[in-house]
Amino acid sequence: MEVALLAAGAALLGAGAGGILLRARRRRRALEARAEFLEVGLRQLQRAAEYLHEGLLLLSAEDRVVYANPAAMDLLGVKNAPEPGAEPRLEYFVGSDDLAARLRVETAEQSVRRVVEVEGRSGEQVLEVTAAPVPGGRLVLLRDLRALEAVDRKRRDFVANASHELQTPIAAIIGLLDLIETLPEAERGRLLERARRNAEALSSLTRDLLGLARAEDPEWRPAPKPTRLQEVVARVVDVHAPRAQHKGLVLQSQVEPPELELVVDPMALQTVLGNLVDNAVNYTESGIVQVSVGTEAGLGAVLEVADTGHGIAPEVQPRIFERFFRGDPARSRETGGTGLGLSIVRNLLRRMGGRIALASRPGVGSRFRVELPESPARPLPGAGQAEFK
């Protein structure tokens, strides 16, 4: 009887121990799954943070930098990201005890925000520092207030420039119409022709303003679809051929291979190519405007617009993509240019994942080179940026 009781007790103990071990294994698997889930979530959060314009720092409770996104590294003038498992102290990471002290915003249960002036590796800056507690440390968000002020200043300048550019042809039209009634019938045709040219300039400016608004609208997205580039080039050449012929220019195009196709927004691409050809025709008095389309390794397509025009001075080239900038204001007024075309080109290419380069010599001519990605889902490095050669 006692032996039977002992055996039963042992069996119960074994079953209990086995149950405990089973529950422990299940708990361990659940913790491992949760840890893996959190690790995946952290990687996804880091990938999202890569695209933030604001700087983001993740600090441990010991003030070690666990993570810094590219914007934070750029703001703080830091070149090397912290290595996993070897997190540097904040003052070592930013290279300055004073800067580290100013970035230390003590947090309790709520987030804290303050503005600090710092002298970092990249010079004097005014930063808005927002810190929020997270388990095991705190999250620090950095915003460059001077950069925001620069954006606001550009917006104010844009409104002022747009108002001025609109007012000029409107005032001219009103003045001409007021004057026309005072002139003999034989002279009115000349004034009406001048009024018509100003109305065309006004129409062109309005069209470019709408194009720029679309290109800079954060809610606008390209609508890529398989597109034969030969058809886009043909439409652009057809539009500009009469004006080129009127000036005695040779406007020619070549697409190689002719059946070249790319997944791209056809209307956006036509706008980009059209603005480049329009500029080339405007600033070329004699010779050739050549449109070439082809392929290169690692690129979906390469489009080039070359001319034998006046060329662009090296000191002017870095500014040609600014809104309303004209390298030669007198010639721009003469040709009816609005100073918005290249700004539209750059903004559209940024949305399309492409980039643009310029090679130009005064007195020889200019060549604009547009590079487009093989897939709109994989933008080219430096998309939307310009390179000058």
CATH of the domain at 109: 3.30.450.20
- At 378 the pLDDT is 87
What predicted TM-score, i.e. pTM, was given to this entire model? 0.52
What CATH number should be reported for the domain holding residue 293?
3.30.565.10
> Hey, what long-range contacts does 337-341 have (CB within 8 A, 24 or more apart)?
337/279, 337/282, 338/165, 338/201, 338/204, 338/205, 338/208, 339/165, 340/205, 340/208, 340/209, 340/211, 340/212, 341/208, 341/275, 341/276, 341/278, 341/279
CA gap 161, 71 in Å, rounded: 31
User: Does residue 271 share a domain with residue 125?
Assistant: no
3-state SS of the chain is CHHHHHHHHHHHHHHHHHHHHHHHHHHHHHHHHHHHHHHHHHHHHHHHHCCCCCEEEEEECCCEEEEECHHHHHHHCCCCCCECCECCEHHHHHCCHHHHHHHCCCCCCCCEEEEEEEEECCEEEEEEEEEEEECCEEEEEEEEHHHHHHHHHHHHHHHHHHHHHHHHHHHHHHHHHHHHCCCCHHHHHHHHHHHHHHHHHHHHHHHHHHHHHHHHCCCCCCCCEEEEHHHHHHHHHHHHHHHHHHCCCEEEEEECCCCCEEEECHHHHHHHHHHHHHHHHHCCCCCEEEEEEECCCCCCEEEEEEECCCCCCCCCHHHCCCCCCCCCHHHHHHHCCCCCHHHHHHHHHHHHCCEEEEEEECCCEEEEEEEECCCCCCCCCCCCCEEEC
- At 230 the pLDDT is 95
- Residue 185 covered by a domain: no
User: Does residue 243 share a domain with residue 133?
Assistant: no
CA gap 148, 131 in Å, rounded: 20
- Residue 193 covered by a domain: no
User: Does residue 136 share a domain with residue 277?
Assistant: no
User: Does residue 343 share a domain with residue 245?
Assistant: yes
Domain that includes residue 117, residue range:
51-145
- At 326 the pLDDT is 64
Question: Where is the domain boundary, 82, 112, 145?
Answer: 145
User: Does residue 232 share a domain with residue 125?
Assistant: no
- At 58 the pLDDT is 84
Domain count, the chain: 2
Structure-token pair, residue 264:
């791209």
The series of mean pLDDT values per 10 residues for the chain, 389 residues long, is: 52 55 70 59 66 80 83 78 75 76 63 71 72 80 74 59 61 71 76 70 61 64 90 91 90 93 91 90 91 92 93 86 66 57 84 90 92 89 68
- Residue 25 covered by a domain: no
- Residue 341 covered by a domain: yes
User: Does residue 269 share a domain with residue 381?
Assistant: yes
- Residue 271 covered by a domain: yes
- At 366 the pLDDT is 93
- Residue 24 covered by a domain: no
User: Does residue 241 share a domain with residue 130?
Assistant: no
- Residue 361 covered by a domain: yes
Q: How far is CA 138 from CA 134, 142, 311, 320, 325, in A?
A: 5, 13, 54, 43, 45
Question: Where is the domain boundary, 100, 130, 145?
Answer: 145
- Residue 292 covered by a domain: yes
User: Does residue 317 share a domain with residue 231?
Assistant: yes
Question: Where is the domain boundary, 145, 163, 179?
Answer: 145
